[in-house]
Every structure is written in structure tokens, then in C-alpha cells.
Amino acid sequence: MPILYLDSDKCNGCLECMRACSKTYEHEEILELARLKIKKDENGRYIIQSCKNCENAPCIEACPENAIIKLKDRIIISPTKCNGCKKCIPACPFGAIQIHPTSNKAIKCIYCGICVKACPENALSIVMPTKVFKEKGKKYALT
């Protein structure tokens, strides 16, 4: 299952990825409604908060309406089935699901790639988790 990977060595915190996401889905710049979040960690490095397409996704089990499904290699939320109960939010170990304030439906990153294209530093990519993570200049698998 693919993940959205942020190379924190390249990220400058400009948030162009979040702006592009918001403009794509909200048709205006509302950073709070971007489907991914870029934040600073306790060491001052930029990190990404987004869906990890968990193999055994707890959000799927938490949804009483079966609105969250695995479709091919991605976790998808059906807005027509979602009743806005918010049970998926605490179930997600990555804090990747939020409730849209207007529709009252759960939303999350769907790996459309618009953020990857918008990043001026080429810090974002969609990868398989067995391919990328950095430590001491080496790339290794994280599963």
C-alpha cells in the first residue's frame, strides 16, 4: 500500500503542498482542510501527517456504516455512506482523518498526487513503504 513520503531534508515548510490540496478539494485556500498536514516535530524538522494506508486499517473496523473501504491498494472513504459519527478519527493511529466542517463527512488523503506536483523542493513522493525512509544518509525499509 503506498504512502505519502516527506523527505524532511528537502522540505522548507512553505506549505505549497497543503495549499494545492486545499485548492483542489475546497476550491480555495483553507489549510486546515488540506488532506495532508506538514508540521514541525520536537526537533524542528518538518514531518507529514497523512493516511498510511494501513494493511489492517483500524479506521475500517471503527466505521459502523462501512463507509471506509480498501479499494485496490488504498483506503477510501465514501462520502455517501459516511454519517459523520467520527468513530474513525480516534481509530486512526496517525491522526489522518478529519471531519469536513460543511459536509460533516470524514475526509483524508487519497493520494491524488497534487501535493507532490506542487512541492517546489521535490520533497514529497508517493512510495511503497518498503522503499524509502532516511536515517544517517541511508534509505531503508520501514514497515
pTM score: 0.86
- The three cell numbers of residue 44 are 524542528
pLDDT for the residue 128: 82
Beta-carbon count within 10 A of 20 CB: 21
Task: Report the run of H or E that residue 90 belongs to, with start and end.
Answer: helix 88-91
Task: Encode pLDDT of 109-119 as tens digits.
Answer: 999 999 999 99
Contacting residues for 18 by C-beta, under 8 A, at least 6 apart: 31, 34, 36, 37, 38, 115
pLDDT for the residue 137: 43
Contacting residues for 33 by C-beta, under 8 A, at least 6 apart: 22, 25, 26, 98, 100, 101, 107
- Which of 35 and 2 is assigned the larger pLDDT? 35
Please tell me whether residue 114 adopts helix, strand or coil conformation. Answer: helix
